[in-house]
A and B are shown apart, each in its own frame.
Chain A
Amino acid sequence: MSQRAPAFPKTSARRPSAVWKVLTSTDHKSIGLTYMGVAAVFLVLGGLEALVMRLQLAVPGNRLLAGETYDRFLTMHGTTMIFFVLLPLLLGFTNYLLPLQIGARDMAFPRMNAFSLWLLVGGGLLLYLSPLTGAPSQGWFSYAPLSETPFTPQRGVDLWSAALIVGGYGTTLTAVNVLVTGARLRMRGMLYKRLPMFAWMSWINGFIILFALPCLTAVLLMLEVDRLLGAGLFTRGDPVLWQHYFWLFGHPEIYLLILPAWGLISEIIPVFSRKPIFGYEFVAWSTVAIAFLSFAVYAHHMFAVGLGWPVELAFGTTSMLIAIPTGIKVFNWLATMWKGSVRYTLPMLYAAAFIVQFTFGGVSGVTFAVVPIDWQLTDTYYVVAHFHYVLFGGSLFAVLAGLHYLYPKFTGRFLDERLGRWGFWLNVIGFNGVFLVQHLLGLMGMPRRVYTYPDLPGWGALNLFSTVSGFVLGVGLLLLLVNLIRSRTHGRLAGRDPWNGWTLEWLTDSPPQEGNFSQLPPLHSRRPLWDLKHPDDMDHVRPRRHDKNGHIREEERGHQ
């Protein structure tokens, strides 16, 4: 590539401020970190909303958030967490890590990348401006006709729709970027079968985003045609159409909120078990299977609608099928740890908690595939417990694992170990305390989406337990936040490759320089850094902590 002389030579003595740099950057690393920062702000907002809701539910007959006020908190909490916390967190990791892992200098379209970020931020701002015109109270699922003008007349719903459409276009453009980056910018020798697991899963995730988000855009456009122009597609037409389209987006959405998280876990577990991932091909191809099936299971959200027995059987079956590729992943992670030299550092602790909690959430998910059980449990707290186990206990814990894993790369410093462990245990205890008991409440028949409940035996005690645990969780996350800020300046220095990793991102400085790599090593296996460190033992089939004679390898001794 020829270097063009700058058209306007820099003459100003004033350097741009750090804030201005972040706002105008097109570097994928800066954009990735900004995504995470934005997500952190929304996590605080969404978390506070959740805590206020838990306060309301602490005792039966409470009137802290009576009636529609509760619905407003419910709507904001759900929308925030799904669209403006988990999504930007995962997009942040993808942005940061994907080019580094495939040996690229940046994403395929750096300027569009920045545009996507600011579209998402704009969406978030629209969402939090919506209360000014009457807070939306229709829930994040926005079921028509309840979301139509006669039932929810406030204009906030329109801003809510606009927020999701704007943010959704940001995400769609990111998916385009991810797909082209993965398809075109891989370094020489980085075949698809050698992609690091995170890169592989983020790339597949691009396809899900590409086909799931337009379903949301379409259905929101139709809702707004109804609300603003009086068309009546879902009132005089068919309200079930809303549910079909919404869940055609909504179910794949769940998978697009967890695929990159699985990718992070698939990076962390091998490194801290000192073994390559077990069954690479199975982990990779099960991702493709999940991408297809994620669309084929959507109607399991609608078993109570009355779709007819054949349809319900079909979707019940596909929903059970999707447990197979998901289970494959879980077993492969376990098999990777099996007989490995597991180091229980903070990232690994979070990864282990992820496996336990995600498996729990996955299994309770399978119970919904049994149609009669779904009829019994739908719209109870059992559902709430299930999806929080998957999205919080699964996805968010995986993100936290990834955050502890990559923090040294982001900043050049480790997170504080003691503070981190306190945060970890408070998070695990708090999280399970909040949601484990909600399974029981659901089985006892406590309905979801209602602001209060009668004083039935056990309900008050379990709800109080859930609320108290919620505050424990809040303290845990607060400690994490303190750790993130404090360790940036006070943390132990990490160096390039603090965990003795195998993928290309650990080859770069911490934090990596602009353009990422000064030079790239020849690539002929899935673990280029292993090859660099072991020129005598390249492409070793089962590289692990011990050598062929059973002795711990020299270079492994220094690492915890």
Chain B
Amino acid sequence: MQSDRASRTHLGMLAFLASDAVIFLLMLVSNIYLRRSEAHGGQSLLEPGRMLVFSVLLWGSSGVLLLAERQRGRGDRVGAGTLYLVTALLGAVFALAQGLEWRSLAAQGGTISSSLFFSTFYTTTGLHGLHVLLGLPVLLALALLSWTGQIGRRAPGVAAAVLYWHFVDAVWLVLYLVFYVWRGP
């Protein structure tokens, strides 16, 4: 019964994320499509190298989460809880870095109304950032529940939360490539 509920929750989250992915896809397409009409959309203001550091932290958080799941499977509540917390911290650092990047871009004239590139850039990365921010309290809750021993080995919600976080990280990989690396059509 437990495993059935877990698989149900997992499947539900999978369906929801499939739906969510469509929003990101359409936002990316609008960026690619609208970029054609601008010779210099302001992409040169971005610093791919600097952001890569923080991106690696975010992607790394997925790895930490995998370790946390392994500890949970072994019944190590404290270890798993600590690793959930580390995941959340890495996510928080990324969100902070993105906020600082936005501020510096705006100071250089790269605002949401300055060019179509930045319109779609802020819209899409903002939506992603919102996903990160929504994930943080969930991860913190996982850490707390784990420390206090309130999640069993197969608690249904955990798998869904983990899936969500991996999804958020995977989306960032695509966003990073399209906005920071790719030079446009």
Using a CB–CB distance below 8 Å, which chain A residues touch chain B? 1, 108-109, 112, 172-173, 175-177, 179-180, 183-184, 206, 210-211, 213-215, 217-219, 221-222, 225, 229-233, 236-238, 241, 245, 248
Contact = CB atoms under 8 A, between A and B. Distances in A.
B15 A231 contact: no
B71 interface: no
B11 A184 contact: yes
Contact of A214 (B1, B23, B37, B120): B23
Nearest to A211: B22
B22 A221 contact: no
B7 A184 contact: yes
- Prevailing SS type, chain B contact patch: helix
Contacts of A206: 15
A229 B26 contact: no
Given A176-B12, A184-B7, A211 B123 contact: no
A175 B12 CA distance: 9
A222 B116 CA distance: 12
Interface stretch (B27-35, B136-144, B174-182): B27-35
A162 B142 CA distance: 31
Interface string B162-180: 0000000000000000000
B128 to A, nearest CB: 13
Given A176-B16, A179-B15, 10 more contacts: A1-B1, A210-B15, A210-B18, A214-B19, A215-B22, A218-B26, A231-B112, A231-B122, A233-B123, A237-B116
A175 B15 contact: yes
Contact of A180 (B1, B11, B34, B127): B11
A232 B116 CA distance: 7
Given A184-B4, A233-B120, A219 B26 contact: yes
A210 B37 CA distance: 32
Contacts of A222: 27, 30, 123
Listed residue (A225, A230, A231) with the most chain B CB atoms within 10 angstroms of its CB: A231
B119 A241 contact: no
Q: Which 10 A-B pairs have the closest CB atoms?
A: A231-B119, A214-B22, A218-B26, A230-B113, A218-B23, A214-B23, A176-B15, A210-B19, A237-B34, A180-B12
B26 A237 contact: no
B40 interface: no
26 contacts: A108-B12, A112-B12, A172-B16, A172-B19, A176-B15, A179-B12, A180-B11, A206-B15, A210-B19, A211-B18, A211-B22, A213-B19, A218-B22, A218-B23, A218-B26, A221-B23, A221-B123, A222-B123, A225-B119, A230-B113, A231-B123, A232-B119, A236-B116, A237-B34, A238-B34, A245-B30
A390 to B, nearest CB: 25
A211 B34 CA distance: 23
A225 B34 contact: no
Nearest to A1: B1
Interface in B94-125: 112-113, 116, 119-120, 122-123
A206 B12 CA distance: 12
B34 A241 contact: yes
B20 interface: yes
Interface residues on B, range: 20 to 34
Contacts of A172: 16, 19
Given A180-B11, A230-B113, A217 B23 contact: yes
A465 B101 CA distance: 63
A177 B8 CA distance: 10
B174 to A, nearest CB: 15
Contacts of A211: 18-19, 22
Contacts of B37: 237-238
A233 B30 contact: yes
Interface string B78-94: 00000000000000000
A180 B113 contact: no
A184 B11 CA distance: 9
Contacts of B120: 233
Contacts of A232: 113, 116, 119
Max chain A C-beta neighbours (<10 A), residue from B8, B12, B113: B12
Contacts of B30: 222, 233, 237, 241, 245
A214 B20 contact: yes
Contacts of B22: 211, 214-215, 218
Nearest to A209: B19
Nearest to A212: B22
Given A210-B15, A213-B19, A218 B113 contact: no
B19 A175 contact: yes
Contacts of B119: 225, 231-233, 237
A205 B119 CA distance: 34
A210 B19 CA distance: 5
A230 B112 contact: yes
A108 B8 contact: yes
Nearest to B16: A176
Nearest to A185: B8
A173 to B, nearest CB: 7
A252 to B, nearest CB: 11
Nearest to A219: B26
Given A218-B26, A232-B119, A241 B33 contact: yes
Contacts of B123: 221-222, 225, 231, 233
Contacts of B8: 108-109, 180, 184
B28 to A, nearest CB: 10
A42 to B, nearest CB: 24
Contacts of B23: 214, 217-218, 221
A59 to B, nearest CB: 45
Contacts of B7: 184
A156 B19 CA distance: 27
A221 B122 CA distance: 12
Contact of B12 (A177, A231, A241): A177
A214 B26 contact: yes
A242 to B, nearest CB: 10
